[in-house]
Amino acid sequence: MPDFLAGATVLDLAQPMRRGMPQSPNHPPFRMALERRHGDLVRPDGGSAANEIVVTGGHVGTHVDALAHVSQDGVLHGGVPAASVQSHLGFTSHGIESFEVFVGRAAVLDVARVHGVPVLPAGYEITAEDLDACGVAVHPGDAVLIGTGWSRRWDEPDAFVGQRDGTPGPGVAAAAWLAARGARVVGGETIAFERIPPGRGHAVLPVHRLLLVERGVHIVETMRLHPLLDTGVTECLLVLNPLPIVGATGAPVRPLAILPAGGTA
């Protein structure tokens, strides 16, 4: 490890990708199959290789939303008509390949900790007052990670998805709070980065509209934040680099949080 990282802790903030993992019903499921097994083809020297085929939607598992993901009245961020840049091959503008690699400060706003609970209740709406109560400064260009504790429920697929009881997340006022402070990217633990009311599913996504369409703020979803929240840090160095799939509306990512020796950033 380089000297400047001596003693640092690196936390993997991605959920493991596997068949049957929790995901939005709006997206095709993740599938992996071993296409070739050891012994199917054996080289003259006795060597053999196995390999798989992977099929996944761009918004399955821990992933970044591209600005092409959401439109309002047929228009993408910056006033770009969606129909003018989309085809069966994807998008010629606002695709995930245009996301610039993020390496910088992430403000960690643990709303669950503010409320004295490990996990916020299903369907809880995070308010601007909740974000203020975290007492963490957000600077222009920062990433902002919102702690709900929901990643602790990853092994409860039905509850995690929240089709019946909903999921906690920011409301429109909280999203406006984040945008007003110049956040470049925001991330959370739930499948959709916003409050999902009980019994509603992903019927409407006003936070996505505000952040992606109106303000051009990228969203990271289904993050495994609870190991980071357990450290109690309020900031960290974040490395965020989604797969550059040309024309895609989103792509898997393996975010890394780096904490210097001593556990504070």
Sign for the pseudo-dihedral over CA of 175, 181, 182, 187: negative
DSSP one-letter code for 106: E
For residue 223, is pLDDT > 90?
yes
What is the C-alpha to C-alpha distance for residues 225 and 187, in angstroms, rounded to an integer? 9
Domain 57-259 part of CATH 3.30.210.10: no
Query: Whole-prediction pTM value?
Result: 0.94
* Cβ-based burial of 223 (10 A; exposed 0-12, middle 13-18, buried ≥19): buried
| pLDDT tier at 203, thresholds 50, 70, 90 | confident
- Phi, psi (degrees; rounded to nearest 5) at 74: 80, 10
| pLDDT tier at 52, thresholds 50, 70, 90 | very high
| pLDDT tier at 261, thresholds 50, 70, 90 | confident
